[in-house]
Structure 1
Amino acid sequence: MSNVSSAPEGGVLCLGRTYCDLVFTGLSGLPVLGRELFADDIAIVPGGGAFITAAHLTSFGRPAMLVTRLGTDPLSGSLEKAIVESGVDLTFAERAQDAGPQVTIAIVQPQDRAFLSRRAGHGRPATLAAALRAPGIRHLHIAEYATLAELPSLIDLAKGSDLTVSLDPSWDDTLINDGNFLDTCRGIDVFLPNVEELMAIARTDDVAEGLQRLNDHFPHVVLKRGADGGTLAQGRERIERHAPRVPVIDTTGAGDAFNAGFLHLWLSGAEGAACLESAIAAGSRSVQAAGGASILAHGSKPATRRAGEPR
């Protein structure tokens, strides 16, 4: 069981789907139809923004509870050992036959990656209502807009439990251009897009203009800029920080680690600059191993280049 109720600053619910990530690294290029391509290495790890953010929050010493549906198939079952070892609280993880197998294939290149995923079942855990009422919980992090689109009353439910709420939109070709996107997100306290997501949601190619448009809807917009670091927009204030130089193995899940770094200090009442610096540090740490939370088990390595730069 969790020690959330004894946490002086409160715990975090991380809501979203949990995937089995098959991360292929050391590729000479991207796959081409009709041809076979071989990778130097593969990592088979738990994935999904909810788990990765929860794992990094736990590594900071903040209680984090994963609110998700886990399959009962062998592939889904193989993830539980690694999830438990991460320290993430599984009190509100529902096991259901239709929730798996849920898989993401990540094809990693030096400066980017491509994904192929399968969603399974629906995204509303039977444990959600109980999780929102759990003692000691202060914040709800929604790991992808797809979850919010599926549960449009979610923000109101969280606010009814006096929780603050954050959202990582997480690119979805079908949903990113949803005309009701901003209305559905009404009430979000911290919005955490990357540059591509910001421009699509704000309907502009100008990042500064996009930040202003989104800041009109959300009190805190935290923009992930990859190798360029990040920008925090809150009211008229703009804070920018660069990323450190680190050896890049895999950028999968780095944005979810970034989320954890920001939220941990934001929930502690830290100044915006400190929150942004914590976010960038967490994202930069994440890219140094294959899989968004793997670095927590392997440990960090000395910095040699900016995150996102070629090896």
Structure 2
Amino acid sequence: METDPAGRVDAAASSNGRQRRAEVLVVGAYYADLVFHGLSRPVLPGTEVFARGFEILPGGAYTPAMAMRRLGHDVVWSTDFGTDLFSEQVLAATRAEGLDDTAFRLHAVPVRSITASLSSRADRAMVSYQDPVVPYPLAMLLREHQAEVLILPQLHYGAAVHAALQVAHEVGTKVFMDCQDVPCTLDTPTVREILAQVDIFAPNAEEALRLTRAPTLDSAIDTLAALVDTLLVKRGGWGAIAVRDGRRCEIDAVAVDVVDTTAAGDCFNAGYLHAHLAGQPLPDCLATAVACGAAATSALGSSAAPDLTELPQWLARVPAARQV
């Protein structure tokens, strides 16, 4: 592997110039999730709340990469690690899961990506920090790996992203994009144009409302469904909604003793893609998404993301889909 003077490994050089074809390409930063769980009440400014438990768990883009790997898929994850203890801990977790390290970049300086998750039974609040890293160009990754599907764990926008997603469609890569708490709306330059290039978009209900500035969730869904091929809206304890080709289906949430919701959204995404790649119809894809999201809430972080042997028992608990 070639290293520049700053100690960065060139991901393209590490593959010895060979073009690699992957089923799934995940692009995004790792995070070490500092999970404070079992909070008895919300944390407000000027107050102190003691958690009943604490763990440091791998998160960020690790979660969809790991979740897809557990479901039997060939996954390449492009991310950056450094010399810090958080990088070391997540790297150890990736090796334990057997994740492909072809697209990892290893830096000779700390690359800290940290999220403090304050988790109650109902929801969680998060505070994050990330050391700045110049990302490997998305367009180059797409040309190098030519994956069947690209997973972007958050909404990205800007001219470079718009150009990269054009490359995705040139090489036949479907684009799956989550939203996350990104400070933009449909009026932000390039956001509408980028969503028009996204094949599957998966915000939660609050993100859909904020992104569209719509007065109701139904109107937000109508607006976003007109932009993307497939829209998934995660509603936490109220289930999920999927819209494709004018068809809308809904599934209620699985009844589960919630421990932590930190990784539920990413595991939901992995479940949907697992069924989608198998060519299943929309209601079955949504059911698999709901099953995987529910499974993730039954333990801390992403530790309970189901594998292929565990998935059927979770699917059996999913309520029937409703066509709307």
Q: Could you say which TM-score interval applies, normalised by the shorter chain?
A: 0.7 to 0.9
- Aligned ranges for residues 244-255 of structure 1 at < 5 Å? 244-255=254-265
Shift of 1:123: 5.7
Change in Cα spacing, 1:232 to 1:126, as seen in structure 2 (3 Å) is: closer
Q: In 2, Cα distance between the equivalents of 1:100 and 1:41?
A: 26
Shift of 1:130: 4.4
Once superposed, what is the RMSD of the aligned Cα atoms?
A: 2.9
- Aligned ranges for residues 211-226 of structure 1 at < 5 Å? 211-226=221-236
Q: In 2, Cα distance between the equivalents of 1:72 and 1:178?
A: 39
Shift of 1:205: 2.4
Structure 1: runs of 5+ lacking an equivalent:
307-311
Tell which deviates more after alignment, 222-231 or 89-98. Answer: 89-98
Q: Which residue identity lines up with residue 193 of structure 1 in the other structure?
A: P
Change in Cα spacing, 1:274 to 1:29, as seen in structure 2 (3 Å) is: same
Q: In 1, Cα distance between the equivalents of 2:104 and 2:187?
A: 29
Q: Does 1:22 align with 2:31?
A: no
1:196 alignment partner in structure 2: 206
Q: Does 1:47 align with 2:30?
A: no
Q: Deviations over 1:204-235 (max 9, x none)?
A: 12222211111111010011111111111112
Q: Does 1:294 align with 2:306?
A: no
Q: Is the 8 A contact 1:15 1:67 kept in 2?
A: yes
**Fraction of identical pairs, as percent:** 28
Q: Which residue identity lines up with residue 188 of structure 2 in the other structure?
A: G
Q: In 1, Cα distance between the equivalents of 2:172 and 2:103?
A: 19
Tell which deviates more after alignment, 225-234 or 152-161. Answer: 152-161
Shift of 1:146: 4.1
Q: In 1, Cα distance between the equivalents of 2:166 and 2:142?
A: 14
Shift of 1:86: 2.1
Structure of larger gyration radius: 2
Q: Is the 8 A contact 2:24 2:149 kept in 1?
A: yes
Q: In 2, Cα distance between the equivalents of 1:15 and 1:279?
A: 20
Q: In 2, Cα distance between the equivalents of 1:195 and 1:133?
A: 35
1:107 alignment partner in structure 2: 118
Q: Which residue identity lines up with residue 278 of structure 1 in the other structure?
A: T
Number of residue pairs matched? 297
TM-score by length of 1: 0.85
1:156 alignment partner in structure 2: 166
2:269 alignment partner in structure 1: 259
Q: Is the 8 A contact 2:71 2:306 kept in 1?
A: no
Q: In 1, Cα distance between the equivalents of 2:263 and 2:114?
A: 14
TM-score by length of 2: 0.82
1:77 alignment partner in structure 2: 88
1:153 alignment partner, SS class: helix
Shift of 1:36: 3.7
Q: In 2, Cα distance between the equivalents of 1:114 and 1:176?
A: 21
2:9 alignment partner in structure 1: none
Tell which deviates more after alignment, 246-255 or 70-79. Answer: 70-79
Shift of 1:126: 6.1
Structure 2: runs of 5+ lacking an equivalent:
1-13, 319-324
Tell which deviates more after alignment, 121-130 or 241-250. Answer: 121-130
Q: In 1, Cα distance between the equivalents of 2:159 and 2:215?
A: 25
2:148 alignment partner, SS class: strand
Q: Which residue identity lines up with residue 265 of structure 1 in the other structure?
A: A
Pick aligned residue for 2:149 from 130, 139, 144: 139
Q: In 2, Cα distance between the equivalents of 1:20 and 1:63?
A: 23
Q: In 2, Cα distance between the equivalents of 1:224 and 1:197?
A: 9
Q: Which residue identity lines up with residue 88 of structure 2 in the other structure?
A: G
Q: Which residue identity lines up with residue 93 of structure 2 in the other structure?
A: A
Q: Deviations over 1:67-113 (max 9, x none)?
A: 11122222211221112212322211112256621100000011010
Q: In 2, Cα distance between the equivalents of 1:99 and 1:120?
A: 8
1:121 alignment partner in structure 2: 132
Q: Deviations over 1:17-62 (max 9, x none)?
A: 11111000122223344544322111111111x2211111111111
Change in Cα spacing, 1:260 to 1:219, as seen in structure 2 (3 Å) is: same
Q: In 1, Cα distance between the equivalents of 2:154 and 2:177?
A: 7
1:61 alignment partner, SS class: coil
